[in-house]
């Protein structure tokens, strides 16, 4: 989001010293052609992907961007090591036991069916998505830190610390299987080893998910620890926020086709995962970004948010486009329904692969379920990303959904650990469409 804007401002003037030559179809977007200045500043007609600039086709610019981020992160240091403050999870005392019983929730031998998967059977954890999965700005205390990706604390894929200090899905599953691997270790970018199987990337939209899926599979195949046909994997797939926060308003007539294209790319990426990642359960999660943004309409947000939101979420908060924010919201609600419907497609369910729609983010709000008082400590300093506390609350919600049967899953946030569900001897499996 914001990091791309900064780099675009620096680089708008040149690619190898000159603007790209105009395309013969002046209003058509392409990754490899088109006028750079027009693609950045004007609205375009959809062609082969939802993208407003061919910057990603330029190797020099990609290398410059990577170098810029490296210098930036090294200057600021690892903000992810912070662990105290109002926007951080309150630590759980060593004397307090893990909320769930642990015995009996790893199968004596690996199960053959994804529908008989116990929490301890998970060997590998992975994630695809955008900046809410990279945990961008989670530990930021100043606006100049909002480009740091605190992947180690990410709700779905961070493995920094333990559940006592950083409640995340990996830190929960590690209690059942200490040999779990794939989770992000600490602050890192996609290209760093510490990111491991978190291949999420800032600014990603649904159109990027086929590439994201291929990148994940390739990374796993290159990792000597991974036995594709033996290890059971859990993959959390969360996307959609940037489609409506920073993209739909820049594309010509996007409101007429964006939901159709989202469904196309969603299915394409899930098919690829089905064909290339055996023994995998996919948590399909709607993005909370738009719901959280609308929930803050009832809140007096900090001044810092007035500076960042028009840049990071210009479709909802930019002066040129915010008049259509209710339309964008309705399209986002349609995509949430599309995600749920796609999760039931028969072709996406086999003996060793399944997709489960987890709706806890669907009605995400800075107001806890049933509460009239907001908790702005769930949000980072930019009011766009989640704080470390927000990531912990999100992990609690995802875990609860995994322990709830399809058709009976909860949505919205609850205070951390107030409602923490557990497997039972009668129902020991992670719930899927088939075993609910």
Q: pLDDT tens digit string along 61-102?
A: 777 877 888 888 888 888 999 988 999 999 999 999 999 999
pLDDT at residue number 29: 42
202 Cβ contact partners less than 8 Å away, ≥ 6 residues apart = 1, 3, 4, 130, 131, 134, 136, 149
Q: Which residues contact 82 (CB under 8 A, 6 or more apart)?
A: 88, 139, 141, 388
Short-list 409, 417, 416, 414, CA closest to 371: 414
Query: pLDDT exceeding 70 applies to what percent of the chain?
Result: 86
C-alpha–C-alpha distance, residues 351 and 431, integer Å? 14
Give the Cβ contact number of residue 17 at 10 Å: 6
pLDDT of residue 57: 52
Q: If DSSP codes are grouped into helix, strand and coil, which group holds residue 209?
A: helix
Q: Compute the distance between CA of residue 117 and CA of residue 163 in angstroms, rounded to an integer.
A: 22
Q: At what angle do helices 254-276 and 209-221 cross, to 10 degrees?
A: 20
**Model confidence pLDDT, tens digit, residues 194-233:** 999 999 999 999 999 999 999 999 999 999 999 999 999 9
Which of these ranges, 18-27, 104-113, 328-337, 352-361, has the smallest mean pLDDT? Answer: 18-27
Backbone dihedral region for residue 189 (phi beyond 0: left; psi -120 to 50: alpha; all else: beta): beta
pTM of the full predicted structure?
A: 0.87
Note the pLDDT of residue 12.
34
Cα dihedral 151, 392, 128, 259 in deg (nearest 10): -130
- Angle formed by the axes of helices 388-402 and 169-176, nearest 10°: 50
Strand intervals (E) in 14-134: 122-128
Is residue 91 annotated as a catalytic residue, yes or no?
no
- pLDDT (0 to 100) of residue 254: 86
DSSP 76: H
Q: Is 113 left (phi over 0), alpha (psi -120 to 50) or beta?
A: beta
CA distances from 138 to 48, 152, 302, 365 (A): 33, 10, 16, 17
The confidence score (pLDDT) of residue 58 equals 61
Residue 374 has pLDDT above 80, yes or no: yes
**Residue range 9-26: average pLDDT?**
33
Which of 53, 131, 140, 246 is catalytic? The answer is 131
Confidence band for 15, pLDDT divided at 50, 70 and 90:
very low
pLDDT at residue 124, as a whole number: 98
**How confident is the model at residue 322, as a pLDDT?**
87
Confidence check: pLDDT of 40 > 70: no
Class of domain 116-403 (CATH, top level): alpha beta
Split at pLDDT 50, 70, 90, the class of 253 is confident
DSSP bridge pairs for 357:
284
Write b or e for each residue in 311-327: b if 16 or more Cβ atoms lie within 10 A of its Cβ, otherwise e: bbbbbbbbeebbeebee
Per-residue pLDDT for 416 more than 70?
yes
More confident residue, 19 or 339: 339
Residues 377, 388: Cα–Cα separation, whole Å: 9
Res 251: pLDDT: 78
Q: Which of 115, 231, 385, 391 is catalytic?
A: 385
Q: How far apart are CA 188 and CA 209, in angstroms?
A: 20
Residue 131 designated active-site: yes
Q: Which residues contact 4 (CB under 8 A, 6 or more apart)?
A: 202, 203
- Is 385 considered catalytic here? yes
How wide is the angle at C-alpha 89 spanned by C-alphas 167 and 371, nearest 5°? 100
By C-alpha distance, which of 240, 144, 127, 269 is closest to 190?
A: 127
Residue 139, SS3 per DSSP: coil
The pLDDT of 31-42, averaged and rounded, is 44
- Give residue-wise pLDDT tens across range 390-399: 999 999 999 9
- Percent share of the chain, pLDDT over 90: 77
Q: Which of 1-15, 269-283, 422-436 has the lowest mean pLDDT?
A: 1-15
| The pLDDT value given to residue 48 | 45
CB-count burial class (<10 Å; 0-12, 13-18, 19+) for 133: buried
Catalytic residue among 130, 243, 352, 382: 243
pLDDT at 5 over 80: no
pLDDT tens digit sequence for 286-312:
999 999 999 999 999 999 999 999 999
Band of the pLDDT at 4, cuts 50, 70, 90? Answer: very low
């Amino acid at each position: 989001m914001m990091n791309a804007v900064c780099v675009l401002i620096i680089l708008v003037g040149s690619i190898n010293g000159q603007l790209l030559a105009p395309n013969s179809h002046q209003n058509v977007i392409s990754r490899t052609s088109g006028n750079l200045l027009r693609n950045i500043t004007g609205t375009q007609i959809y062609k082969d992907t939802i993208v407003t600039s061919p910057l990603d086709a330029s190797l020099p610019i990609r290398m410059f961007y990577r170098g810029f981020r490296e210098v930036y992160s090294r200057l600021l240091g690892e903000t992810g090591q912070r662990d105290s403050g109002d926007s951080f999870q309150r630590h759980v005392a060593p004397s307090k036991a893990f909320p769930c019983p642990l015995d009996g929730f790893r199968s004596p031998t690996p199960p053959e069916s994804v529908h008989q998967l116990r929490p301890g059977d998970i060997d590998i954890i992975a994630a695809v998505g955008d900046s809410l999965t990279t945990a961008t700005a989670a530990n930021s205390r100043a606006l100049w830190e909002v480009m740091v990706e605190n992947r180690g604390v990410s709700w779905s894929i961070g493995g920094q610390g333990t559940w006592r200090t950083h409640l995340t899905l990996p830190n929960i599953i590690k209690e059942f299987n200490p040999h779990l691997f794939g989770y992000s270790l600490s602050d890192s970018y996609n290209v760093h080893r510490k990111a491991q199987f978190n291949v999420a990337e800032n600014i990603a939209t649904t159109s990027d998910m086929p590439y994201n899926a291929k990148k994940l599979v390739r990374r796993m195949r290159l990792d000597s620890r991974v036995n594709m046909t033996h290890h059971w994997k859990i993959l959390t797939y969360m996307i959609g926020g940037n489609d409506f926060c920073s993209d739909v308003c820049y594309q010509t007539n996007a409101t007429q086709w964006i939901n159709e294209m989202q469904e196309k790319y969603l299915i394409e990426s899930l098919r690829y995962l089905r064909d290339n990642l055996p023994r995998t359960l996919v948590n399909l999660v709607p993005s909370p970004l738009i719901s959280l943004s609308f929930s803050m309409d009832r809140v007096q947000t900090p001044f810092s948010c007035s500076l960042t939101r028009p840049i990071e979420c210009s479709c909802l908060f930019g002066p040129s486009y915010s008049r259509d924010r209710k339309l964008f919201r309705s399209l986002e609600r349609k995509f949430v329904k599309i995600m749920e419907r796609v999760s039931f497609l028969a072709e996406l369910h086999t003996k060793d692969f399944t997709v489960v729609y987890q709706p806890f983010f669907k009605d995400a709000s800075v107001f806890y379920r049933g509460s009239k008082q907001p908790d702005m400590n769930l949000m980072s300093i930019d009011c766009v990303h989640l704080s470390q506390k927000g990531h912990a609350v999100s992990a609690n919600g995802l875990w609860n959904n995994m322990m709830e049967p399809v058709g009976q899953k909860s949505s919205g946030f609850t205070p951390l650990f107030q409602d923490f569900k557990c497997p039972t001897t009668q129902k020991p499996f992670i719930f899927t469409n088939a075993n609910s």
